[in-house]
Amino acid sequence: MNPASAAPATPVTAVPLPATGAWREGDPPGRRQWHRRGRPLALEAGGELPRVRLAYETWGRLAPDRSNAVLVLHALTGDSHVAGDAGPGHQASGWWDAMVGPGRALDTDRWFVVAPNVLGGCQGSSGPASTGPGGRPWGGAFPRLTQRDQVRAESGLADALGIGRWALVVGGSMGGMRALEWAVGEPHRVASLLLLACPAAASADQIAWAAAQLHAIRADPHWRGGDYHDAGPGQGPHAGLGIARRIAHITYRSAEELESRFGHEAQEGEQPWGGGRYRVESYLDHQAVKLLRRFDAASYVTLVEAMNTHDIGRERGGRRAALARVRARTVVAGVDSDRLYPLAQQEELAAGIPSADTVRVIRSPYGHDGFLLETDQVGALVRELLDGSPGAGGAGGPA
């Protein structure tokens, strides 16, 4: 094959993409609300974040006794928009829309659902794309974060909402790491806990996959050390972030699903021997462009590095001692086809958390993404935890 005829690393779009897909000041707010922390946030790695803002969304109505609040924590490229349509301020529809609403597993006629955009994210919370102390985007100067820093910021949001104890904290993947930190770091504030497809600590395999993604972004000539947010359209690190997304997405899906969907087939109208693509390559290109439209490369780096730090036993006497601190009624679930966060990691959690029984297995051909897609199975686990909880009486209809 002539290398010059090969498909580009990032597909060409009709209109050049902005340097970042982050939500920026002046963009439509959509359903977002904001919590602004009144004091600096001390960071685990040292130093502090002087100004902290978390974007969040809510559904339902908080009960007078504040007993019906549910915290939903998103994965790496998620955000606060758990439910609802795409529209001004929200480039994609809710990532767990089938789970939240009247009559759904997170029934908003009964439960007050809160979903923050994680600290370091790019959809309204403080992160590399947000304004720093000098009035310009933080960019590469944004400090290193850990999962514990992110949970401390979320704890401030709970305080501001007057929520002393969550009826349920639920999260999958990166969100599951934070849900676990909530239950270990603030056990008195979590009544029930649902951990989906997440580990007690990041493994060498997971850190290795992450390292390849980080190298791809930093090798992009438009990365500029993370200081690209004021660049013009087409001048952001799109190639690097696109490659990172392709690498990640392969780990999110199972080999069996990719084979059954795409096999060895060429993309329609293209010839791989002549510079065209296979169908699976076209699929990965599509996933890359979707992410470029709604995400920020520097936030991706910040959050992946935070995920790499995840170790529930750090400075707590080890994982077993840390897991023993959980007081919440707990369900741990994993996906049978997950090759990124395999079931053995959920088995460690279930064995170490006093109230957890055996791992619940989500049957899915979709790999790690099964925790997002198999909403009937996940919904049954949510209902199991919430039925009979103190806040189950609800507080009226959706707000």
Q: Which residues are catalytic?
A: 173, 338, 368
Q: Can you tell me which residue has the tokens 């849900």?
A: 179
Helix (H, G, I), strand (E, B) or coil at 100: strand
Distance CA 240, CA 158 (A): 36
Distance CA 251, CA 264 (A): 19
Distance CA 114, CA 196 (A): 18
Detail the DSSP E strand segments found in the chain: 33-36, 41-42, 48-49, 53-59, 69-73, 112-116, 168-172, 192-196, 329-335, 360-362
Q: Could you give the C-alpha distances from 358 to 171, 217, 275, 332, 348, in angstroms and in order?
A: 18, 39, 50, 8, 10
Half-sphere exposure of 101 (CA within 13 A, CB side): 10
Partners of 48 in beta bridges: 42
Q: Can you tell me which residue has the tokens 């992009």?
A: 220
Distance CA 58, CA 74 (A): 14
Distance CA 324, CA 333 (A): 18
